[in-house]
Amino acid sequence: MKILHISAVKSWGGGENHIENLCNELHQISPSTQNTILCLKNGLFYKKLQNSGISFETVTINFKMDLRFCFKLIEICKKQKIDLIHIHDSTALTLCIMADHLYNLPSFIFSKKTTFPIRSRRQTLYKYNYRKIKKILCVSEATKAITKTNVNDPNLLVSIYHGTNVKGYNSNNTIDLKDQFNIEANKRIIGNIANHNWPKDLDTFIKVAYNLVHERGIKDFHFVQIGNYTTETPALIEKIERLNLSDYITLTNVIPNASFLIPQFDISLVTSKSEGIPQFIYESFLNKVPVISTDVGGISEIIAHGINGFLAPSGNYEVLANHILELLNNPELIERFITISYKNVHEKYTTEMMATKTLQEYKLVLNGK
């Protein structure tokens, strides 16, 4: 079975992490399954793949609908005799459909990794109901429910949690956050890993810090946010400076293998206003760091409020701040949260489980080939 994974994303985030984990796990559980990734040259994903051992091809494009991507895709399908194309983002889906009009491509599987609804526009509905799509793999039940509203055949939808790699890794060579960014030793770190995109709502992350530090006068916190800078970053930096929070918030930009730094967090804080399920939560579970999050997308499927974490309404920085204080003042609660979450991630949310279920869907599409 030869699978071609398609990514048209330049950055590195949870979606790209999923592709890497999926290919690695498929190699372990099904060595006869050959996986190749087609990605954009010189992007963060491309740079990550260079050291991964995963087979990949690259293409240079100057704009989203560049036909060079289509021609490269067709070339790979012909040369490698690809059986199935696994598409991992919306732009890649558009490019695959364009290529299919030029050459008869193999069947598609599409991964829906967000809870953004499919717009009821003719062109968008055509894309997500394209005849070559044989399965839509949804990152959560919430994603599945939202996607279902504008998909003609709901039987195509399957929920598969991405999970995380629980087999362990060596994080001994990571930086010391307090030393690297001159954070006082007595400060408790409230951490977040997310690229600077509007769904992550880092504006609320800043508001939580302002509420604790300036409105409540609690000065022993330091907020560390790790993620790819974007066009939204200057506004975040301006707000931090305007609110006199420069001594309490550090934006680090991209740090390779950022998940290795999670054990240095006292709390993982998620402030997103739209999510499938962020990889950051799974990785916090694995690293025994308690999670406080907004209740959006599929997050409540893996965090039960008051059982293995705290949830708050989207944008409600005061409730998030309250949860931080309640958690840090209750060591027994922290212990309970991390114990349950650590157990759950090993029993329900591993990349091996994700790959096994994905492989099953591949085989169903290919009728056991």
Helix then strand count (H, E) for the chain reads: 13, 13
How high is the pLDDT of residue 357? 97
Q: 2-163+350-365 and 177-347: same fold?
A: yes
Q: Is the pLDDT of residue 168 over 70?
A: no
How high is the pLDDT of residue 307? 97
How high is the pLDDT of residue 275? 92
pLDDT tier, 365 (very low <50, low <70, confident <90, very high otherwise): very high
Query: What DSSP string describes 287-354?
Result: TT--EEEE--TTGGGT--BTTTBEEE-TT-HHHHHHHHHHHHT-HHHHHHHHHHHHHHHHHT-BHHHH
How high is the pLDDT of residue 43? 81
Q: Match 């509007």 to its residue by tokens.
A: 198
Interval 294-320 mean pLDDT: 97
- Does the domain at residues 177-347 carry the CATH identifier 3.40.50.2000? yes
Give the pTM: 0.91
How high is the pLDDT of residue 350? 96
Rounded Cα distance, 236 and 337, in Å: 31
Residues 6+ apart with CB under 8 A from 45: 7, 9, 10, 11, 12, 16, 19, 39
Query: What DSSP string describes 171-235?
Result: -TT---HHHHTT--TTPEEEEEE--S-GGG-HHHHHHHHHIIIIIS---SEEEEEE----TTHHH
How high is the pLDDT of residue 171? 59
**Interstrand relation of 188-193 and 267-270 (parallel, antiparallel or unpaired):** parallel
Q: Is the pLDDT of residue 369 over 60?
A: no
Q: Match 């399957």 to its residue by tokens.
A: 158
Quick one: which of 227, 164, 219 has its CA closest to 201? 227
Name the superfamily (CATH) of residues 2-163+350-365.
Glycogen Phosphorylase B; (3.40.50.2000)
Q: Is the pLDDT of residue 10 over 90?
A: no
Interval 246-269 mean pLDDT: 95
Residue spans per domain, the chain: 2-163+350-365, 177-347
Rounded Cα distance, 81 and 92, in Å: 20
pLDDT tier, 115 (very low <50, low <70, confident <90, very high otherwise): confident
Q: What is the mean pLDDT of the chain?
A: 94
How high is the pLDDT of residue 108? 98
* Token reading at 230: 């974007």
How high is the pLDDT of residue 172? 60
Cα–chain-centroid distance for residue 345? 16
What pLDDT digit, counting tens, does each position of 188-206 carry? 999 999 999 999 999 999 9
What pLDDT digit, counting tens, does each position of 14-36 carry? 889 899 999 999 999 999 999 99
Quick one: which of 151, 148, 149, 138 has its CA closest to 276? 138
